[in-house]
């Protein structure tokens, strides 16, 4: 199941039932879990650990050195979980010493063509990055977030769970959970109600999230003036509690 033209470093560890296509290159210190499909003309460099049942399409560059002038060849990693789909021309870079040393991608994610994930990014589970979405270094993307095509994310930003960015968004601040953003620079445009309904959020929880959003994101009142009201909503809904905690702990500030 390994094409005769593929080049596999002797130190690479390839599990059972892995298919590797023509002219692909698997470098040193690469580990590939069972049932993965690696298409033709893929380059994977290490140290990189890839879990099980992943699909990596042609011309992807996985585990390359970070694009960071401070990087001086130190040993860092890219770690990828299970059941991810990595499409054509995606670039995934290893971490840096100053950023914790690991770029991490979780499970069940879809990275469409030309997506870039820079050094030290942390991507959760069930994330969708549409075509040409680009993450600068140290970005965190929480579970179920969706970034539209050509979205650009500034380094050290955090993208909250179940949030959504429209095509071409330039994101320079944190996006709280459930929020939809658009524009350059990105601004908040409401709650991702469709996504929340698809993932089983109750109508009552969605209404509570909308109320909290209006108070903390849409309102022109100082946060301290509305916080007691928001906390009273959060007392009955864990979803709102997560929303409030995200905003309170944001280091870059959140979109408004």
- Catalytic choice (93, 119, 138, 162): 119
Question: pLDDT for 63-72, tens place per residue?
Answer: 999 999 999 9
Q: What's residue 223's pLDDT?
A: 81
- Residues 79-94 have a mean pLDDT of 98
Determine the 3-state secondary structure of 133 from DSSP: coil
Q: Dump pLDDT digits (tens) for 6-44.
A: 999 999 999 999 999 999 999 999 999 999 999 999 999
- CATH 3.10.450 correct for 196-249: no
Of 159, 161, 192, 185, the C-alpha closest to 171 is: 185
63, 95, 120, 149: which is the annotated catalytic residue?
120
Q: Where in the chain is the domain with CATH 1.20.1180?
A: 196-249
For domain 7-141, give the CATH superfamily: Hexapeptide repeat proteins (2.160.10.10)
Mean pLDDT over 167-187 rounds to: 97
Say what the pLDDT of residue 225 is.
86
Concerning whether 137 is annotated as a catalytic residue, the answer is: yes
Q: Where in the chain is the domain with CATH 2.160.10.10?
A: 7-141
Residues whose CB falls within 8 Å of the CB of residue 4, separated by 6 or more in sequence, listed in order: none
% of the chain residues with pLDDT over 90:
95
Note whether 168 and 148 are within 8 A (CB). Answer: yes
For residue 178, pLDDT over 90 is answered with yes
Tokens of 115: 């997506």
Known active-site residue 82: no
> Residue 219 has what pLDDT?
86
- Look at residue 220 in the predicted model and tell me its pLDDT: 83
Q: Average pLDDT, whole number, for the chain? A: 96
Give the pTM: 0.95
Hunting for tokens 């694009």 — which residue is that? Answer: 67
Is 120 among the catalytic positions?
A: yes
pLDDT at 201 over 90: yes
Identified catalytic residue from 95, 99, 137, 149 = 137
């Amino acid at each position: 199941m390994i094409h005769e033209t593929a080049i596999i470093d002797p130190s690479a560890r390839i599990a059972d039932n892995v298919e590797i296509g023509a002219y692909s290159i698997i470098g040193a210190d690469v580990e590939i879990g069972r049932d993965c499909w690696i298409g033709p003309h893929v380059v994977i460099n290490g140290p990189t650990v890839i879990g099980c049942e992943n699909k990596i399409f042609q011309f992807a560059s996985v585990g390359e050195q970070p694009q960071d002038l401070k990087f001086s060849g130190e040993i860092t990693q890219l770690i990828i979980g299970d059941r991810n789909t990595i499409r054509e021309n995606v670039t995934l870079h290893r971490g840096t010493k100053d950023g914790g040393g690991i770029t991490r991608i979780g499970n069940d994610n879809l990275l469409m063509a030309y997506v870039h994930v820079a050094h030290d990014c942390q991507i959760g589970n069930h994330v969708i990055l549409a075509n040409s979405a680009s993450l600068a270094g140290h970005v965190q993307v929480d579970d179920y977030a969706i970034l539209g095509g050509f979205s650009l994310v500034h380094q050290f930003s955090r993208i909250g769970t179940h949030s959504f960015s429209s095509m071409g968004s330039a994101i320079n601040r944190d996006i709280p959970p459930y929020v939809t953003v658009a524009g350059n620079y990105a601004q908040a445009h409401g709650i991702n109600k469709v996504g929340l309904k698809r993932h089983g959020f109750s109508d009552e929880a969605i209404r509570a999230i909308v109320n909290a959003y209006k108070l903390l994101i849409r309102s022109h009142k100082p946060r301290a003036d509305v916080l007691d009201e928001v906390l009273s909503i959060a007392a009955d809904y864990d979803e709102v509690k997560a929303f409030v905690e995200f905003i309170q702990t944001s280091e870059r500030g959140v979109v408004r």
